Structure 1
Amino acid sequence: MRMNEAVMLERWQVDSRSHQILLTKTKTSRPRTISWHTPGGNATRALEYGAASGFLYTSGTTGKPFANFSSNHAQIIRRILRDNPLFRRFGGHDLRHAFAVRWLKAGGNIYRLSRHLGHSSVKVTEQNYLGFLTVEEQERVQSRWSRFLQGSPQIPPQQPEKPFRNDQSAPWGAWQFLVYFQEVLAEGKRFELSIRLNTV
């Protein structure tokens, strides 16, 4: 999911029974449905944290979705760096890349990842993310993709992906950062340097 898709997400788009999200405001203007429990991460906790109706994540001061998320993100990063010079700078889009690499390293299907990310083709996904994998991981992903194209029964179209463990040692994704971002901007919230990110 792209950051602006997360920022504009409304409660009606979240299906708690099927653990799926309907994205209607996408980069390509084509709606798509994604799962929120994937090999790349599990957004259950962050979705539960969102508002019960309307936009899930809003500014504590305006009550509206974050209009300038990127510049606010950069401002928070600068504050973290000022207090902790060893912190590794990252952009909002880096969270999306880290999610995709985690998905592939966990053995997730590259076709499903491509659909999840909203890429125009699997080739775009391959070009962006295979280079972050070991040779063995690349071969596994490509072998799985070849079997999928050949219609192998080993990868049925609706086979659930292996869920990514959701514990305290897991790296943050866009959802967790968005929730933290909302807390930081809320009026009277003390800024804490407890972010743990493992980006590629």
Structure 2
Amino acid sequence: MKKNNNIHYAIDDFMIYCKQKDLRKKTISSYESTLRLFARYTEDNHNVNDIKSITQEICRDYISYTKDRGKYTFVFDQNTKYINMPENREDYGKKVSITTINNYIRNLKVFFNYCVEERVIKANPMDKIKQFKNNRKPKGQVTDEEFKRLLQNIDTTKYSEFRDYVVIQLIMDTGMRIGETLSLEVNNVDLDRRAILIPQDITKGRKDRYVFYSQTMSKLLRRWIQYKDRYVESDLLFSTKRNTRLEVNNFEKNFKKYCNRIGLKDTSAHGIRNNYARRFLMAGGSIYTLSRLLGHSSVTVTEKAYLDLSDEDIRKNYQQFSPLENMKR
């Protein structure tokens, strides 16, 4: 077997290619973890490490195996099990979600397409393998009353809680991603035009984009900036009191704590962005405009993400646009 036919060498070349394309670290990590596990599976279960010997049947077997096994029960390096101790996780052994399986399928397709383009292999063994139909779980919605109670139970006399109080409302008013919001600097905010520039280095799509906020939010932002400047010297809009960037997972933990205070369940920090999108559409906003504001790569992505308006949402929205009622006006 030629050295460059070894699947691990092919994966190494692919990872260099991903790095050269300036993909985000999270995306690169997703590709690598998927591919290393796949390579380990082909070696252990089919005694195959020559990329030219990988068949559609082997790929199908791997997808079935992955679908049936429990979470964290299969790892690339067995030594890491003694370090990370995955069996201590609450979700150890639980069913792998269809979303995760579909991500694996997508990653493998991209990798083998690359190998075809580089003429390492002649055909993509993943070509005829389709993603699983995924019954989408409706996104959790927060009522006006729940949102008001959530804000009322945040202690704004504390620096960290006042900061989160502002972050929550800013995301609800703009639809920004949590990571984007927490990476903003003060100079990204145009207080006169009530606009925020999200620079390409912190957006998911690597493109600059603007979002806009309300008069109510403008007053709150001005108040926050004045307050922040009294306690920390940071270019970041929402720094910690130690003058460091607030990490997404820490904000998510804080948000869960606030929800627990009022018994609000099935709501995540990312759900604020989902609620923004639903409310934007319900107010008559166009899906094209929403797609631009959310920073989606296409309107199709937006349509797929927000197809779960409830019957009650549709009923309320219909009353604004009934042809017969509008004729009477």
TM-score for both structures, normalised by structure 1? 0.57
Percent identity among equivalent residues?
29
CA-to-aligned-CA distance 1:28-79 (integer Å, 9 cap, x gap): 11111111239xxx6324422134671111112x11220x222442255247
What residue in structure 1 maps to residue 294 of structure 2?
A: 117
Partner Cα separation in structure 1 for residue 254 and residue 211 of structure 2:
30
Taking structure 1 as reference, are residues 78 and 15 closer, same or farther at Cα in structure 2, changes over 3 Å only? closer
Residue 57, structure 1, aligned to residue 238, structure 2 = yes
- List 4+ stretches of structure 1 deviating above 4 A: none
- Specify every segment of 5 or more residues in structure 1 that has no aligned partner in the other structure, as ranges: 142-200
After superposition, where does 1:33-112 map in structure 2 within 5 Å?
33-37=210-214, 43-48=217-222, 49-50=224-225, 51=228, 54-60=235-241, 62-66=242-246, 68-74=247-253, 77-78=256-257, 81=260, 86-112=263-289
More helix by share: 2
After superposition, where does 1:1-200 map in structure 2 within 5 Å?
1-24=176-199, 25-37=202-214, 43-48=217-222, 49-50=224-225, 51=228, 54-60=235-241, 62-66=242-246, 68-74=247-253, 77-78=256-257, 81=260, 86-132=263-309, 133-134=313-314, 137=317
Partner Cα separation in structure 2 for residue 76 and residue 131 of structure 1:
24
Contact 2:205 2:296 in 1 (8 A): no
Contact 2:197 2:208 in 1 (8 A): yes
Please state how far the C-alpha of 1:109 moved relative to its aligned partner: 2.1
Partner Cα separation in structure 2 for residue 110 and residue 137 of structure 1:
14
Amino acid at match of 1:126: E
Amino acid at match of 1:55: L
Partner Cα separation in structure 2 for residue 59 and residue 116 of structure 1:
27
Contact 1:70 1:92 in 2 (8 A): no
Please state how far the C-alpha of 1:105 moved relative to its aligned partner: 0.9
Contact 2:291 2:302 in 1 (8 A): yes
Amino acid at match of 1:77: K
Taking structure 1 as reference, are residues 79 and 129 closer, same or farther at Cα in structure 2, changes over 3 Å only? closer
Partner Cα separation in structure 1 for residue 209 and residue 258 of structure 2:
35
Taking structure 1 as reference, are residues 79 and 99 closer, same or farther at Cα in structure 2, changes over 3 Å only? closer
Please state how far the C-alpha of 1:101 moved relative to its aligned partner: 0.5
Q: Which secondary structure does the structure 2 equivalent of 1:33 belong to?
A: strand
- Specify every segment of 5 or more residues in structure 2 that has no aligned partner in the other structure, as ranges: 1-175, 322-329
Q: Which secondary structure does the structure 2 equivalent of 1:98 belong to?
A: helix
Larger radius of gyration: 2
Amino acid at match of 1:130: L
TM-score for both structures, normalised by structure 2? 0.36
Taking structure 1 as reference, are residues 15 and 88 closer, same or farther at Cα in structure 2, changes over 3 Å only? same
